[in-house]
Amino acid sequence: MKPLIIAIDGPSGAGKGTVARAVAAELGYRHVDSGAMYRAVAWKAVRGRVPLEDEAAVARVAEQSRIDVTSAHVRIDDADVTREIRTPEIDRAAAAVARLPRVRIVLVDRQRRLGAVGGIVMEGRDIGTVVFPTADVKVYLDASPDERARRRANDPAHTGGPKAVADVATLLTERDQLDRTRATSPLYAADDAVVVDTTGKSVEEVVREVMTVIKRLEPGG
């Protein structure tokens, strides 16, 4: 079977990262977290005191930066920012950066080049709708607000330690509103995406569901 382009979208806390990495590992594909690219640009802009509302300036940051995203690390230029980009401050900054059309043009082009030959599992919020609208497989992961908040509150990669679920729920609600209402590439499930509700399911269960969708493309599948 030809190398596939697999798009996995969904809101924060739905399990995209964990599931996308597991699916990529099972298939021997490259895994790319597109959101990490926006986070890296946001981190560099914040560090360089670039106003996040200055679209031209932030777009220059994106254009002039070397960004390397793998399952193991995120680097921008010579800085390993794998941990630094998973904080509430960068959550908010990345949401602001992701609303800027000129930044999205730069990063979407890079994402398309990464996946041009297939053999990739890319996760994000607009992979199946904008980055790869003709992706071989489109999956949209979702979960109840309570489940998403609980997962994120207990994820040290994002919070630095356990946080009050109510506080995290508030942050997720704000991020959801920003993502779903932005003028460029808003968050929604593509019409031809398979929607998987991950509420109450183990990672293994969700991965099996996604693999079932993928295997339908195999001869005799």
Looking at this protein, which amino acid is placed at residue 189? Answer: A
What are the pLDDT tens digits along the chain (221 aa)?
A: 789 999 999 998 889 999 999 999 999 999 999 999 999 999 999 999 999 999 999 999 999 999 999 888 999 999 999 999 988 899 889 999 999 999 999 999 999 999 999 999 999 999 999 999 999 999 999 999 888 888 877 776 665 555 677 777 888 888 888 888 888 888 899 999 999 999 999 999 999 999 999 998 865 55
Task: Identify the pLDDT of residue 79.
Answer: 96
Residue 183 has what pLDDT? 82
Contact 85, 74 (CB under 8 A): yes
In this prediction, residue 39 carries a pLDDT of 97
Flag whether the pTM goes above 0.75: yes
The per-residue pLDDT for 170 is 82
Domain locations along the chain: 5-214
Cα 50 from Cα 63, distance rounded (Å)? 14
pLDDT in the model for residue 156: 62
For residue 124 the two structure tokens come to: 């994000």
Domain 5-214, architecture per CATH: 3-Layer(aba) Sandwich (3.40)
pLDDT at 217: 80
pLDDT of residue 165: 76
CA pair distance 154, 164, nearest whole angstrom: 9
| Model pLDDT, residue 159 | 53
SS3 content of the chain, % helix, strand, coil (to 5): 50, 15, 35
